[in-house]
Amino acid sequence: MNRAAAGPAKSAPGRSAPYVPALGSRRLTALYDPLMRWSMREQTFKRALVEQAGLADGQVVLDLGCGTGTLTVLVKQRAPGAVVTGVDIDPEALRIAGAKIGPTGLTIRLDRARASALPYPDGRYDRVVSSLVFHHLSPEEKRQTAAEVFRVLRPGGELHVADWGRPQNRLLRVAFLLVQLVDGFANTAEHARGALPDRLRGAGFSDVAVTRQFATVFGTLALLRARRPLPEAGTKGD
């Protein structure tokens, strides 16, 4: 396998359907990394997410909506013996991710697919991590994506998310309006209400919790964790 082999593991339905790119415009994708570094405490919250995920060698890990690959690289550096895949719908973001991964010498697979239609078998992953993806999705896509993540996680596997949460005060609520203008009020309404944990519970996840919050210039960034439950005693497992 190439160190940053792009291309879906199998056919990914709906790849050409509309999607919200980073910063709301394909023309701005190249500015995403500098903006994240300068305005979002990116290294702080992504390292916190990686630490929270409890990664270990031998695990199979998916970075959902990997974008330009910053979190994907951190995951592989944290657990060099893990099998790490990044998946994203945006071909330009994947190109940047591949260029970023190449010089590191890390073995990371990159696939192109929609978060709501993952081209992976049931129970494939021990961990799914995701940073600033869910707020790009419509309510129906959120539902589908949560269901897909639940499907590809093994029983007992965990989802760890960094995304916008309910603003902690009025100033942060005003700041979040810019995100809503860029990414759409319909897509971000659940985040303004702090309702993403409920969305995950609705998909069947247990032990759903907001573990940490960060104040940023664009609003409150929340870390979440959730777990696919183990089968109940006496039932057939996966």
Domain CATH code at residue 184 = 3.40.50.150
Domain count, the chain: 1
Residue 199 included in any domain = yes
Q: Is residue 1, in this structure, part of any structural domain at all?
A: no
Q: How far apart are CA 219 and CA 18, in angstroms?
A: 26
Structural domain span for residue 141: 25-227
* Residue 172 forms part of a structural domain: yes
- What's at 39, amino acid-wise? S
Q: Lowest-confidence range among 25-39, 54-68, 84-98, 144-158? A: 25-39
The whole model's pTM is what?
0.86
Is pLDDT at 1 greater than 80 in this prediction?
Answer: no
For residue 97, give the 3-state DSSP assignment: helix
Contacts 24+ apart (CB under 8 A), 138-146: 138/186, 138/187, 139/186, 139/187, 139/189, 139/190, 141/115, 141/116, 142/190, 142/196, 142/199, 143/199, 143/202, 143/203, 144/116, 144/117, 145/64, 145/115, 145/116, 146/199, 146/200, 146/202, 146/203, 146/205
186-222 pLDDT tens trace: 999 999 999 999 999 999 999 999 999 999 999 999 9
What digits encode the pLDDT tens for the residues 113-123?
999 999 999 99
Is position 152 within any domain?
yes
Report how far apart the first and last C-alpha atoms of the chain are (Å, whole number).
Answer: 28
pLDDT in tens, 24-36: 545 555 655 656 6
Residue 87 lies in a domain: yes
φ and ψ of 83, to 5 deg: -90, 115
Q: What is the pLDDT of residues 73-127, one digit of tens each?
A: 999 999 999 999 999 999 999 999 999 999 999 999 999 999 999 999 999 999 9
Question: Is the pLDDT assigned to residue 8 strictly greater than 50?
Answer: no
Strand ranges (E), the chain: 60-64, 83-88, 109-112, 125-131, 153-164, 206-216, 219-227
For residue 20, tell me if it sits in a domain: no
